[in-house]
Structures are given as structure tokens and as C-alpha cells.
């Protein structure tokens, strides 16, 4: 349960994916059905579920663009030539990473 609470708190109860979301929410419910942890999960369900013309859907991830960008930046940084040779690319990557992250729950 410590790990569940750690992930929940660090992802603002979105969790790292749809499977973790369901499992963590269930664990919190079983731990304490009317507890704060379970209650904090409920409004975040909408991040994964929606109703389409052919029924309910569950979304995994919107895409891997943010992860791909951060891994590419890490690879460039590891080369030690990144600052001089790829300065403009890194500047654009930084802007993209900064704009793509949700750092404030009010922005969601």
C-alpha cells in the first residue's frame, strides 16, 4: 500500500496508466472505502474513460511524444556535444517538454 499511495500522490491520482489506475483505486477502496485516497481517485476517472458512439472506451496514453522527446534529450546530453552542436534543437525540446507537462492540477 505504501507503493500505491506513493504513485497516487506523485501522479495526482492519475497513476502511470489505465491498469495501475484501476488497481490502485481498488486497493484504496479495499483499504478504506470512505477514505481520502479513494475519494481522490474518483474525479480522475475521466482522464481515462469516455463514451463513444459504440460504447464506453478506456484510453491508455495519448501518445509517447513526451517520453520520446525526453529520451532523445537524455541521449544528446550523454554525448557531451549536445550544447554546442544541438543548442537550437535542445531549446525547442525544452519548450516542448515544459509545455507538455502538467505541473499544476488546475491546468487539467
Give the model confidence (pLDDT) of 43-67 as tens digits.
999 888 888 899 998 887 656 788 8
Domain holding 83, by residue range, is 65-101
4 contact partners, CB below 8 Å, separation of at least 6: 23, 24, 27, 28
pTM, 2 dp:
0.58
What pLDDT score does 81 carry? 72
What pLDDT score does 84 carry? 74
Residue 106 placed within a domain: no
Residue 24 placed within a domain: yes
Judgement on whether residues 97 and 78 belong to the same structural domain of the protein: yes
Q: How far apart are CA 101 and CA 97, in angstroms?
A: 6
Residue 18 placed within a domain: yes
Judgement on whether residues 27 and 45 belong to the same structural domain of the protein: yes
What pLDDT score does 63 carry? 66
Q: Which residues of the chain have pLDDT under 70?
A: 61-63, 82-83, 102-108
Residue 84 placed within a domain: yes
Amino acid at each position: 500500500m505504501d507503493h500505491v499511495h506513493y504513485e497516487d500522490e506523485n501522479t495526482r491520482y492519475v497513476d502511470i496508466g489505465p491498469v495501475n489506475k484501476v488497481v490502485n483505486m481498488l486497493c484504496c477502496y479495499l483499504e478504506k472505502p470512505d477514505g481520502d485516497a479513494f475519494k481522490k481517485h474518483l474525479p480522475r476517472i475521466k482522464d481515462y474513460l469516455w463514451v463513444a458512439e459504440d460504447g464506453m472506451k478506456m484510453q491508455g496514453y495519448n501518445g509517447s511524444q513526451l517520453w520520446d522527446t525526453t529520451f532523445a534529450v537524455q541521449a544528446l546530453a550523454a554525448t557531451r556535444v549536445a550544447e554546442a552542436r544541438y543548442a537550437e534543437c535542445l531549446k525547442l525540446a525544452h519548450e516542448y517538454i515544459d509545455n507538455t507537462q502538467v505541473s499544476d492540477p488546475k491546468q487539467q
